[in-house]
Amino acid sequence: MARRLLVISAGVSTPSSTRLLADQLADAVVTGVTARGESVDVEVLELAPLAQSLATTVTTGVAPADITAAREQIAAADGIITVTPIFAASYSGLFKMFFDVLDPDALTGVPMLIAATAGTPRHSLVLDHAVRPLMSYLRADTVPTAVFAATEDFGTTELGGRVRRAAGELAQRLVGAAAVSGFGGPTDLDTAPRRSTGANDLGEVTPFAELLRGHTGS
């Protein structure tokens, strides 16, 4: 059975260096998975077209259809690549809004590769100081190697090597090969339960008036 790889790009320009890096990573993961005798289907989720719907979801709690569809893509993914541009020395607001509207358990145990792009190498630590802690909080199985690309890095041997290394780590988790010692994983994809999409998970809701019945306010 083909594994399902979801590529999340938070780039906002056209053409986008963020999407370029995302595509390079996805191609390298496909190469790594097929080299291990397995197959993988790739889907790309661009966050820029979801900006208005994300704002609606954050402010009202009501998810439009495109956000519901994105949540379902997350729940169906066996592995995720996520790439954000760096703004003001951190991940973008669009990137953070997307992960804010996911169910708290949506990423639990999901193999993930994190990456970022920026105009200068001075922001290279953002992945380990901001993005990795966010994904750890969401309990994703983040691979050890993160990929940062400044504008000047594209086309270099160094970036290509880092892309292949990170992609190999994610491919390893997708096919259930032995994990890199000391970093946890790999996720057992065949036995892991499918995660929640965040929809219709609340069960029966107790009316607020009933919860406050008999409360004196003291």
pLDDT at 203 (0 to 100): 55
The pLDDT assigned to 141 comes to: 97
Contact 21, 59 (CB under 8 A): no
CA 50 to chain centre: 15
Render the burial of 79-110: b for 16+ CB within 10 Å, e for the rest: bbbbbbbbbeebbbebbbbbbebbbeebbbbb
Q: What is the pLDDT along the chain (218 residues), one digit of tens a residue?
A: 899 999 999 999 888 999 999 999 999 999 999 999 999 999 999 999 999 999 999 999 999 999 999 999 999 999 999 999 999 889 999 999 999 999 999 999 999 999 999 999 989 999 999 999 999 999 999 999 999 999 999 999 999 999 999 999 999 999 984 333 333 444 454 545 455 565 555 456 667 677 677 666 55
Angstrom distances, CA of residue 190 to CA of 36, 174, 187? 17, 10, 9
C-alpha–C-alpha distance, residues 124 and 86, integer Å: 9
* Strand pairing report for 79-87 and 90-91: antiparallel
CB within 8 A of 151, min separation 6: which ones? Answer: 17, 117, 118, 119, 120
Q: How many Cβ atoms are within 10 Å of 141's Cβ, its own excluded? A: 22
The pLDDT score that the predictor gives to residue 41 is 97
- Nearest-CA neighbor of 188 among 119, 141, 145? 141
- CB contact at 8 A, 122 and 116: no
Tokens linked to 215: 């409360």
Q: Quick check: pTM over 0.85?
A: no
Looking from the CA of 175 toward its CB, the CA atoms found within 13 Å total 19
CATH code for the structural domain at 3-211: 3.40.50.360
